[in-house]
């Protein structure tokens, strides 16, 4: 029997790197990096970048650095740094050496800025922000030179030193690269490379009151670290001329190659960090790790596995064309994983009491059922059959709809892994609600078909005596719109799905689930895939999160 081909599918970045390695470029070495800004939690789009950068380094026996591009202390925090580190490790990747910080290079970056001034390629700007915007021009009209553009090198060096010393107010001056105010690429119209920001930095404290801009910092940090292939998303394509200009203008240790690929856009999802933060700040969700969030932490808490996310990222591929991936592909990936690896269990979400009238009150049978129908290696689990049971309210109907194959008065159904029971009587409360079923069981139907009749329906159940109480959180897509941010007349907050979280209390679970652990998934038979919540569950309260339904219910709704 032939072994399956595990070679990753080729894409244009692999082709570029393969050619570079074969030609001995960069000494045949490959060095990549993943450079998040620590201003929020990572989301599913970052997962694609993580898998790509770390994956390429691994394939070519190279290295991948984790570097925090921490040049904006107003929005950054140690909380985000810790979360990002945890996400990368959980996805299964290991960075080369110590964690890097752009802030570790602040001295070198400042030196490079001085070098630009000395070359006559940078100047201190005193225009206001509004005036700079006016001078910048538009996409169809060139900009015009600032009246401060021709300051002497000595004056610029003096002003920049005084900016660093804290002599000037925040916003009063910036340092700009001197490139071309008539360039067709607006990013090349004398971009700002340093600004005054009198804010404490989470790594450097109060050492600095001027901070470099991202476009200046990023390329130099890549060069300092010896990165060979600086892989980033497509929105940075227009920034590549600036990336190259800075490195060409300076005497840096190396000149990495920037390569852009299309970012991951997922329908029914928002991946703007600013808008995700708004969801958190306005309490639309419970936090960055809310299981409805597209953050890696949220997906993890919801029960997504690292392997399912890695497989999803490989499945969607790497291209130069922007597009939107259907959420169904991500859900397919986790279903495929969990169908193979999640043990089965029974949990009744909306309990309806069943009394087996012909079963002894003091009896209790222990039944062994398969932990996974397709994987004998998972063994068996024990459940209990007793006089009083619970089935789900949806598995009984007084007036059954067409093709209803569950329990009705006078009808029979099989309890999963157990006996066939018959409903003899229906008890109701004063309002006419069904509260209890009186049934009988056929003792000759354990593991075999009843004689002389055919029973089609099978329902899940638990023993009332040994069941454990649980809260079950039914999570669904956070937005009702495929493109929550697509209508500029409507706020994305207006299309939040009111059914994205439904909390069910008083659920009844089979006793083995009392030993459930966070991140260990289960298939609740006939209900979906679930995981113990790693944050809110306790020894006193089992809380399960629905990861995904057994089938794609959204396809039916939208189809």
Q: Are 439 and 423 in contact (CB under 8 A)?
A: yes
CA distance 55 to 72: 28
Task: Measure Cα distances from 315 to 10, 11, 59, 320, 323 in Å.
Answer: 12, 12, 17, 16, 14
Give, in order, the Cα–Cα distances in Å from 220 to each of 106, 115, 124, 453: 11, 13, 20, 78
Question: Alpha helix (H) ranges present in 288-436?
Answer: 296-302, 306-316, 327-341
Residues 6+ apart with CB under 8 A from 224: 105, 108, 252, 253
Catalytic (active site) residue 263 = yes
CATH superfamily of 14-261: HUPs (3.40.50.620)
Matching fold, domains 14-261 and 273-344+470-558: no
Counting residues of the chain whose pLDDT is more than 90, the rounded percentage is: 94
* 74 labelled catalytic: no
Q: According to CATH, what is the number of the domain 348-466?
A: 2.40.240.10
Tell me how far apart the 2 most distant CA atoms of the chain are, in Å: 103
Please pick, among 37, 76, 125, 525, the residue that the annotation labels catalytic.
Answer: 37
pLDDT of 553: 64
Structure confidence at residue 488 (pLDDT): 87
**Which tens digits make up the pLDDT trace of 209-261?**
999 999 999 999 999 999 999 999 999 999 999 999 999 999 899 999 999 99
Tens digit of each residue's pLDDT (9 = 90 or more) over 72-89: 999 999 999 999 999 999
User: Could you say which architecture CATH assigns to the domain 273-344+470-558?
Assistant: Beta Barrel (2.40)
Q: Residue 195: its pLDDT value, please?
A: 98
Q: What is the mean pLDDT of residues 388-404?
A: 95
Q: Which of 75, 144, 263, 416 is catalytic?
A: 263
**The three-state (H, E, C) secondary structure of 78-103, written as one string:** HHHHHHHHHHHHHCCCCCCCCCEEHH
Nearest residue to 144 (alpha-carbon basis) of 156, 153, 134, 159 = 134
Catalytic residue selected from 100, 151, 176, 273: 273
Q: Judge whether 151 counts as a catalytic residue.
A: no
The strand pair at 458-459 and 412-415 is best described as: parallel
Q: What's the predicted TM-score (pTM) here?
A: 0.93
Domain residues of the chain, as ranges? 14-261, 273-344+470-558, 348-466
Residue in the structure block whose two tokens are 């040049």: 71
| Residue 63, burial from CB neighbour count under 10 angstroms (0-12, 13-18, 19+) | buried
In this prediction, residue 557 has a pLDDT band, given cuts at 50, 70 and 90, of very low
pLDDT tens by residue, 458-509: 999 999 999 999 999 999 999 999 999 988 889 999 999 999 999 999 999 9
pLDDT 10s digits, 306-353: 999 999 999 999 999 988 999 999 999 999 999 999 999 999 999 999
Task: Please tell me whether residue 156 adopts helix, strand or coil conformation.
Answer: helix
Six token digits for residue 250: 């300076």
Cα(first)–Cα(last) distance of the chain, in Å?
Answer: 41
61: left (phi over 0), alpha (psi -120 to 50) or beta: left
Averaged pLDDT of the chain: 95
Which one has a higher pLDDT value, 302 or 3?
Answer: 302
């Amino acid at each position: 029997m032939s072994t399956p081909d595990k070679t990753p599918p080729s894409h244009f970045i692999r082709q570029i790197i393969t050619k570079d390695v074969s030609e001995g470029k960069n000494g045949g070495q490959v060095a990549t990096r993943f450079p998040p800004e620590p201003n929020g939690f990572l989301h599913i789009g970052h997962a694609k970048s993580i898998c790509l950068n770390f994956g390429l380094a691994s394939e070519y026996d190279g290295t991948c650095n984790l570097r925090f591009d921490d040049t904006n202390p107003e929005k950054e925090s140690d909380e985000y740094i810790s979360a990002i580190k945890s996400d990368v490790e959980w996805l299964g990747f290991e960075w080369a050496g110590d964690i890097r910080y752009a802030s570790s290079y602040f001295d070198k970056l400042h030196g490079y800025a001085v070098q630009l001034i000395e070359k006559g390629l940078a100047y201190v700007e005193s225009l206001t922000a509004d005036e700079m915007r006016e001078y910048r021009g538009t996409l169809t009209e060139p900009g015009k030179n600032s009246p401060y553009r021709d300051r002497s090198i000595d004056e610029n060096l003096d002003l920049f030193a005084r900016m660093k010393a804290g002599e000037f107010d925040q916003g009063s001056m910036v340092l700009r690269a001197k490139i071309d105010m008539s360039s067709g690429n607006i990013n090349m119209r004398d971009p700002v490379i340093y600004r005054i920001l009198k804010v404490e930095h989470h790594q450097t404290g109060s050492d600095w009151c001027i901070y470099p801009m991202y476009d200046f910092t990023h390329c130099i940090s890549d060069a300092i670290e010896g990165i060979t292939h600086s892989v980033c998303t497509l929105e940075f394509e227009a920034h590549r001329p600036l990336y190259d200009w800075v490195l060409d203008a300076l005497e840096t240790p190396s000149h990495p190659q920037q390569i852009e690929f299309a970012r991951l856009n997922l329908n029914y999802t928002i991946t703007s960090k600013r808008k995700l933060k708004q969801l958190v700040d306005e309490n639309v969700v419970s936090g960055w790790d809310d299981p409805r969030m597209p953050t890696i932490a949220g997906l993890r808490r919801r029960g997504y596995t690292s392997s399912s996310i890695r497989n999803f990222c490989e499945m969607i591929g790497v291209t130069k064309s922007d597009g939107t991936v259907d959420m169904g592909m991500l859900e397919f990936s986790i279903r495929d994983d969990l169908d193979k690896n999640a043990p089965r269990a029974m949990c009744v979400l909306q309990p309806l009491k069943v009394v087996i009238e012909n079963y002894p009150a003091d009896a209790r049978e222990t039944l062994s059922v398969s932990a996974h129908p397709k994987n004998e290696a998972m063994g068996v689990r024990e459940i209990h059959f007793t006089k009083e049971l619970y089935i789900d309210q949806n598995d009984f109907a007084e007036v059954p709809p067409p093709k209803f194959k569950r329990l009705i008065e006078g009808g029979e159904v099989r309890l999963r892994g157990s006996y066939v029971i018959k409903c003899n009587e229906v008890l109701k409360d004063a309002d006419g609600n069904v509260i209890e079923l009186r049934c009988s069981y056929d003792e000759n139907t354990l593991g075999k078909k009843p004689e002389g009749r055919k029973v089609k329906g099978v329902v899940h159940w638990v023993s009332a005596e040994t069941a454990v109480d649980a809260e079950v959180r039914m999570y669904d897509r956070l937005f009702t719109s495929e493109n929550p941010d697509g209508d500029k007349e409507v706020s994305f907050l207006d299309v939040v799905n009111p059914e994205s979280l439904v909390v069910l209390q008083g659920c009844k679970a089979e006793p083995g689930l009392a030993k459930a652990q966070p991140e260990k998934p289960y298939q609740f038979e006939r209900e979906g895939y679930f995981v113990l919540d790693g944050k809110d569950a306790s020894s006193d309260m089992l809380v399960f999160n629905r990861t995904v339904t057994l089938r794609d219910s959204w396809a039916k709704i939208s189809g």
